[in-house]
Structure formats: structure tokens, C-alpha cells
Structure 1
Amino acid sequence: MRVLALSPGSLEDQLDRLPALAEICQQLNATLQVACDPKQAAPWKLLPCMEKLLPFSFEAKPTLADWANLLGCVREPDFQVCINFAEGQQVNLMLSMSHIPKRLGADGFACTDQVNVGQGWTAQRLGPFVQALGFELVADQFRLPLATGALDEAREALPRGDGPLLLLSPTGQDGDWPASEWHRLPDTIKGRLASLRSMVLRTELSLAKRAALIACADVVLSSCPVSQRLATYCGIPLVALGAEATDLPERAEIRCLGRPEELATLQGSDVLTALGF
């Protein structure tokens, strides 16, 4: 069986959809093909059920030729289910000409099942899409299935020592927690915990390498929404700077601290407290 996902949006949007699509494919014993912008496709490649990427930028004002090409990609394989996160007349017209018997979406005349986004944190809100197929989604139980080789490579890149590893993942953008605070924090903690190891996660790394490094950490401090989601999906303790409580699951080892507009003035003592010091 094959499942098709039409997935516009940002990298964070793609990450938010992983638990629902992984659950659907597992329950249906299906492979997955995803139509999305190639620049945002990295999260899908982390799923073992991923069969093929259909490069398509929904936000780039696709032409009729683009839609016709996508229709050809959609009609050629034998899809049984489509999860549609796109909107508009063009996507509905394209889907209405496909042979897919089950088409789930928030609205549109091509939907066979209209599904409204539910309650909860971002990934859990897609539970109704899973329920429409007869299953249940517990997004907080989803974990990224990282390859052993990727984890071994990540461990080799970590600072040497036996102490706990604090992984720092700032956005580096305007309004972030000040760079001086990010630099000062590890030394402050080492004054109380001499064996602490720390490392800054480089944003230029591939998503798979970032996920593997996060999975090897003991705790992640991050103002980056992507790293926050990766830490959540790896089951790693996380202090999420600038995240709303509804962005992430209610879990004892996840703490959200400060609103996005407050990060520039966030006190280091508050971050230390959130980290347990």
C-alpha cells in the first residue's frame, strides 16, 4: 500500500507532520511519497517508510504545467490514501482527477473525508487525520529512528570526557538570547559541575546529523524551533527558549522558558534554574 502526502510549508511544518504520517504508514503497512519543496524535505528522509520525494513548491505559484506534472506523478503509482495539507482550487482539481480513493483534507471539493485539526501540541493536533483512518495518534510516543552509523559518527564528534553533555542550539537571529549569554553559560555551569561537556550545534549541518548529535546529548538548550522538535522526537531533556507550552508535549523533561519577544532580556539565572542548577 502507498500513502501520498501533499505537504506545503516550512521545515517546522514538515517536522510537525512526521508522527501522524509515520503512524498512518505503520498501521497500514504502507510506504510513503511526499510532495513538498525539496528545501524542506529533509525530515521525511528520516522515516523508514519514505519511498519517494515528489519535488513541488506549493508556495512558488506553480503553473498549470507544474500541476499537470504532479498529477502525472500522483496517477502513476497506486496510491490508496492521500493526506492533503495544501489548499486551493488547483490542488483540489488535481486531486479530483487522481485515482486515489481516500483523500483527507481540511477542506476542498476533492476531499472524500473532511478533517479538522484537533487539540493539543502541534504534532498531536493532526490526530484527527489518523482517527479518520481508524487509528489513534499519541504523538508524544513518536521517536526518530536514527541509523546506528549516524549515531556512532555523532558520538565521535562529541567533546571527550565522561561528564554530562549540554548541547546548545541558538538560532543566531535577531531577538535571540544574547550571544554573550550563550558563551557564558557553560563556564557558569562548570563552576558547579566541573565534568560538564558542552557543544554548540551548527545550523549548517544536515538535519540527519543534527538529529544524531541531539540524540547523543544529555540535555538540549535551544531557541531553534527545529532543534526543539528534534530533541522532542529523540526523547532528550530540553529547555526550549521562546517556545509556547502548546508547541511541545507536556513532559517532565521539557521546559519552555520565555516568550520569543522576551529572549533578548532573559536572565541567565532563569535559564540555569530551568536546567536544574
Structure 2
Amino acid sequence: MRVLALSPGSLEDQLDRLPALAEICQKLNATLQVACDPQQAAPWKLLPCLEKLLPFSFEANPTLADWANLLGCVREPDFQVCINFAEGQQVNLMLSMSHIPKRLGSEGFACTDRLSIDQGWTAQRLAPYLQALGLELEAEQFRVPLAAGVLDEAREALPRGDGPLLLLSPTGQGHDWPAAEWHKLPETIKSRLPALRSMVLPAKLSLAKRAALIACADVVLSSCPISQRLATYCGTPLVALGAAAKDLPERAEIRCLGRSDELATLKSSEVLTALGF
């Protein structure tokens, strides 16, 4: 069985859709093909069920020829289900000519099932897509699969020692918690916990390597939405700076701290408390 996902949007959008598509493919014993912008495709490469990526930039004003090419890619294999996150007349025309029997989306005349986004945290809101297929979604149970070799490489990159590892992942943007605070926090903690190891997550890493380092950490402190999602999917304890509670699942090991527009004034004592100090 094959499932098609039409997935416009940012890297965060792609990550938010991973648990739903992974669950669909697992429960239906299906392979997955995803049409998305090539620059945002990295999350899908983490899923073993991925059969093929279809490069398609929904936001780049695709031409009629672009849509025709996508239709050719969609009609050639035998898809039984389409999960459509795209909107507009062009995508609906394309889907109406695709012969896919089950087409799920939030709007559009090509949908066989028109769905409303559910309540809950970001990834869990896609539960209606699974319910339309007779399935249930428990997005908080999703764990990103990582190859043993990638995890071994991540462990080799960690600071030496036996103490707990604090992984720092700032956004580095203007509204972030000040750089000076990020810099001095590990030393402050070491005054209470001398064995602490700390590391700043390198910016230029593949998503898989980034996820592997996060999976190897004992706790992640992050203001980066991508790292926050990866920590959630790795089951790593997380203090998420600037994240709203609705963005992440309710877990004892996940704490959201501060509003995104107020991080510049967030006190280090509040961060230390959230980290358990």
C-alpha cells in the first residue's frame, strides 16, 4: 500500500506532521511518498517508511507545467490514500485527476473526506486524518528512529566525562535569551554540579545528526522550535524557552518557560529552577 502526502510549509510544519504520517504508514503497512519543498524535506528522510520524495515548492507559484509534472508523479504509482495539507484550486484540480480513492484534507472539492483540525498540541491536532482511516493518533508516543551509526557518531562528539550532559540550543536571533546568559549558565550550574558536561548544538548539522545529539543528551535547553520538536520526538527532557504550552505535549519532562517576545528579560534564576536547580 502507498500513501501520498502533499506537504507545503516550513521545516517546523514538516516536523509537526511526522507522527501522523508515521502512524498511518505503520498501521496500514504502507510506504510513503511526500511532495514538499526540497529545502524542507529533511524530516521525512528520518522515516523508514519513506519510499520517495517528490520535489515540489508549493509556495513558489508553480506553473501549469509544474502541476502537470506532479500529476504525472502522482498518477504513475498506485496510491490508495492522499493526505493533503495544500490548498487552492490547482492542487484540487490535480488531485481530482489523480484517481486516488481516499483523499483527506481540510478543504477543497477534491477531498473525499473534509476534516477539521482537532484540539491538543501541534502534532496531535492531526488526529482527524487518522480517524478518517479508522486509526487513532497518540502523537506524544512518537519517537524518531535514528540509525545506530548516527547515534555512535553523536556519542563520539560529546564532551568527555561521566556527568550529566546539558545540551544548549539557542536560536541566535534577536529576540532570543541573551547570548551572555547562555554562555554563563553552564558555569553557574557547575558550581553546584561539578561533573556537569555542556555543549552548544552546532548550527550546521544535518537534521539526523542534530536529532542524534539531542537523543544523547540528559536535558536540552532550547529556544529553537526545531530542536524543541526533536527533543520531544527523542523523549529527551526539555526546557523550551519561548514555547507555548499548546506547541508541545504535556509531559513531566517538558517545561515551557517564558513568552517568545519576553526572552530578553528572562532571569537566569527562572531557567535554573526549570532545569531543577
Q: How would you bin the TM-score normalised by the shorter chain?
A: over 0.9
Runs of 4+ in 1 over 4 A off after TM superposition: none
TM-score (norm 2): 1.00
Aligned-partner residue type, residue 37 of structure 2: D
Q: 2:185 aligned with 1:185, yes or no? A: yes
* Alpha-carbon distance in structure 1 between the residues aligned to 2:122 and 2:137: 12
What is the total number of aligned residue pairs between the two structures?
277
The CA distance in 2 between the partners of 1:118 and 1:62, in whole Å, is 30
How much does 1:125 deviate?
0.1
2:168 partner SS: strand
Structure 2 match to 1:116? 116
What is aligned with 1:11?
Answer: 11
The answer on 1:170 being equivalent to 2:170 is yes
Aligned residue in 2 for 1:71: 71
What SS does structure 2 have at the residue aligned with 1:104? strand
Query: Distance between the aligned counterparts of 1:119 and 1:203, measured in 2?
Result: 33
* Counterpart Cα distance in 1 of 2:242 and 2:256: 7
Shift of 1:204: 1.0
Corresponding residue of 1:57: 57
Percent identity between the two aligned chains: 86
CA–CA separation in structure 2 for the residues paired with 1:261 and 1:27: 40
Residue in 2 that maps onto 1:147? 147
Letter in 1 for 2:65: A
Partner residue in 1 for 2:137: 137
Deviation at 1:99, TM superposition (A): 1.4
Aligned pairs for 1:1-277 (under 5 A) are 1-277=1-277
Q: Secondary structure at the match of 2:243?
A: coil
Structure 1 residue ranges without an equivalent (≥5):
none
Cα-Cα RMSD: 0.4
Deviations 1:155-214 (A, max 9, x none): 000000000000000000111000000000000000000000000001211100000000
Structure 1 residue 36: deviation in Å?
A: 0.2
State how far apart, in whole Å, the 2-side matches of 1:191 and 1:90 are: 60
SS of 1:58's equivalent in the other structure is coil
Q: What TM-score do the two structures reach when normalised by structure 1? A: 1.00
Shift of 1:102: 0.3
SS at match of 2:80: strand
